[in-house]
Amino acid sequence: MTSIDTWIEAHAQASPDKAAIVFAGETLTYGDLAGAVGRIARHLRDNEGVLPGERVAYLGTNAPDMLALLFACARLGAILVPLNWRLAPPELAHAVADCGARLLLHHPEYAETAAVITGDAGARLVDPAQGGLIAQTAGLDALGPGSGEGHGEVPLLIVYTSGTTGRPKGAVLTQDALAANADNACHMQDITAADRVLTVLPMFHVGGLNIQTTPALREGATVILHDRFHPAATLAALREERPTLTVLVPATLAAVIAHPDWSRADLASLRLVATGSSDVPHSLMKPFIERDVPVLQVYGATETGPVSIYQRVGDAAAEFGSIGRAGPRTRVRLMADGREAGTGEIGEIQLMGGNITRGYWGREDATAESFADGWFRTGDLAMRDADGVYWFKDRIKNVIISGGENIYPAELERVLREIEIVGEAAVVGVADPRWGESPVAVVVPKAGEAVDETGVLAGFNGRLARYKHPKSVVMVEELPRNALGKIKLDMLRKIAEDALGARDATGRDPVKDPKKA
């Protein structure tokens, strides 16, 4: 397949004045974007000496620069490494060193961080200065399509996993993988050139970059780009910019719904909202659905582009709560005890297709561990019903085996979300001398509510089988999360174990009564 930078060039030829990106009140047409891609490619090759296969890291919030840089790297056959600006310097330094970046381009506001994280890694710092990379390269001659060594089989992205249980690994995605992901994404959402996509999620993550943004640019649609997520700005854009599509994860769904302007928000332009996570709370989807905006769940991971399994508008209402069906560019199987799980059985989701990673950068051990006979092992569990619809269950690592029975924390967490006095909650397994493991609920009380263990446990009565109920409840002020908002399970388990250990030793709950514990 040809390089994906030809997507932009084709639209520049057919519709040069069509808006490609709207950002901070400025519009970049497809003609403008194509010119920027060519100039940045020229700059990287001739002024920075970037060769095919070399890595170019990028540290900054969402901006047109990053998208132009992506397609410029595609033209050259270079590899873009988008960095998570929410991470601490040591975490960023690991990514820069691990990928062996030649350059680190950064926004001016990250100059101090960029200087720290390059350290001895050998990456050269490039500050595009105020106005950005597109403006800085304005006087250069463009490097035209086909002038570089980019093509479909060449790696284009290294995206670092969130690392909830270990050191982040760099998943490698080729240009073909982005094209296959775009096929799935366009099928999922029926994206056309007439769409206006509102991108508020960070594009250092494949969700913000590839669920709607790159597929929209492939189709010649318009991307309304925000530097970062702000609930008020999102609601204002819905009213003023009239987007037809947007992606919101659970945390951003919750922030939009909780905003004072939500009740009078104008959602008329939206034809759907896409959302994704291991398990999206139904309570966060229903407020949109009740206002006639379909909410589609998409399942995937950094390693899968991410669009792999998803709902479509015609199926979402009847299959509410599911993660949908496999996309046309992705094959799915569920494996249990070395065999394919049958209808109604729970098994590990394994994926194969053009959108799947080739492996982890410089980590043959991790790559081998993550693939089985060419199938990517997601580490997630699901059930497929008689209609071929997939229903997410839990992470394999989360499953609690208590008295020989499998208990899925996600199932307990769904109940906890519906208990009025609970603000947030997560469930982990802790060692139990009688049962092997027992589920423990770690709960953040809802503001202003009097919460005790008895009240939380009572919420499970009649909802789940008795053996699935949490054996204990630990109260905390907040759940430990990483920079992407995912719960740090190892830390959460230690919090539960320490609290229960102190409780056993003193007969008191150290969180409720720390002075007496």
What range defines the domain where residue 489 resides?
399-506
CA 342 to chain centre: 29
- Residue 476 inside a domain? The answer is yes
Please list, in sequence order, all residues whose beta carbon lies within 8 angstroms of the beta carbon of residue 229, skipping any fewer than 6 positions away: 200, 201, 202, 252, 255
- Residue 423 inside a domain? The answer is yes
Residue 203 exposure: Cα atoms within 13 Å on the Cβ side: 28
| C-alpha span between 379 and 246 (Å, rounded) | 28
Q: Alpha carbon of 485 to those of 249, 362, 478, 481: distances in Å?
A: 10, 27, 12, 5
- Residue 418 inside a domain? The answer is yes
Question: For position 514, what pLDDT does the model report?
Answer: 36
Q: Are 99 and 219 in contact (CB under 8 A)?
A: no
- Residue 274 inside a domain? The answer is no
Q: Are 209 and 239 in contact (CB under 8 A)?
A: no
Amino acid in position 331: R
Q: CA 335, 337, 342, 347: dihedral to nearest 10 degrees? A: -50
- Residue 233 inside a domain? The answer is no
- Residue 455 inside a domain? The answer is yes
The pTM of the full predicted model, rounded to 2 decimals, is 0.87
Q: Would you give per-residue pLDDT tens digits along the chain (517 residues)? A: 689 999 999 999 999 999 999 999 999 999 999 999 999 999 999 999 999 999 999 999 999 999 999 999 999 999 999 999 988 888 899 999 999 999 999 998 898 999 889 876 667 777 766 568 998 899 899 999 988 999 999 999 999 986 544 578 999 999 999 999 999 999 999 999 999 999 999 999 999 999 999 999 999 999 999 999 999 999 999 999 999 999 999 889 989 999 999 999 999 999 999 999 767 889 899 999 999 999 999 999 999 999 999 999 999 999 999 999 999 999 999 999 999 999 999 999 999 999 999 999 999 999 999 999 999 999 999 999 999 999 999 989 889 988 878 898 988 999 999 999 999 999 999 988 888 889 999 999 988 888 889 999 999 998 888 889 999 999 999 999 876 677 888 899 999 999 988 776 555 444 444 333 3
Residues β-bridged to residue 171 = 159, 360
Closest CA to 167 of 485, 482, 494, 497: 482
Amino acid in position 252: T
- Residue 511 inside a domain? The answer is no
Secondary structure (3-state) at 219: helix
Please list, in sequence order, all residues whose beta carbon lies within 8 angstroms of the beta carbon of residue 430, skipping any fewer than 6 positions away: 437, 438, 440, 493, 496, 497, 500
| C-alpha span between 504 and 461 (Å, rounded) | 25
239 sits in which H/E element: helix 231-240
Q: Alpha carbon of 225 to those of 64, 183, 289: distances in Å?
A: 8, 22, 24
- Residue 432 inside a domain? The answer is yes
Q: Could you give the number of structural domains in the chain?
A: 1
Say which CATH number the domain at 489 has: 3.30.300.30
